[in-house]
Amino acid sequence: SQTIHQWPATLVQPVGSPLSLECTVEGTSNPNLYWYRQAAGRGLQLLFYSIGIDQISSEVPQNLSASRPQDRQFILSSKKLLLSDSGFYLCAYDQGRNQPQHFGDGTRLSIL
C-alpha cells in the first residue's frame, strides 16, 4: 500500500534560522509531489510541485525553496526563516492527471 511520511511533526525555530522539512512516499513510483501551506481560515496554498527528480515548479514567490533529490523524496527548505513562514505545512502526492492527492500528517512550524 501507499503511504506518505512527513517530519518533524512540530518545529519551533528562531527568526533567521534555516529550515529543512522532509517528505517521503512509499509504495508508488514517479508520483507528482506537492508542498502546501495551510493558514487558519484560508484553505490550502500550493507552494511547490514536482513531476520528477530535480523538476521543481514554484507557484508563489517566497522565502522558501524545494528540492527532489530522489523519486519519492521531497524537501522544503529555507536559508533564513521569517516570522511570516509560520504555519502548517503539508506534503501530498498523486499518481496522475485528475487523480486525488493524498496528504501527509503535516508539520506545525512556529517561528519565534
**Contacts of the segment 43-48: beta carbons below 8 A, 24+ positions apart:** 44/90, 47/76, 48/76
Q: Classify 84 as helix, strand or coil.
A: helix
Q: Please, which of residues 22-61 interact with another protein by CB under 8 A?
A: 32, 34, 41-44, 46, 49-51, 55, 57
Q: Which stretch binds another protein (CB under 8 A): 11-19, 61-69, 71-79, 94-102?
A: 94-102
Query: How many amino acids of this chain bind another protein (CB under 8 A)?
Result: 28
Should residue 90 be labelled a site residue for another protein when binding is judged by CB under 8 A? Answer: yes
User: Is the Cβ–Cβ distance between 87 and 105 less than 8 Å?
Assistant: no
Furthest CA-CA distance within the chain: 39
Residues in contact with another protein by the rule CB under 8 A: 6, 9, 32, 34, 41-44, 46, 49-51, 55, 57, 90, 92, 94, 97-106, 108
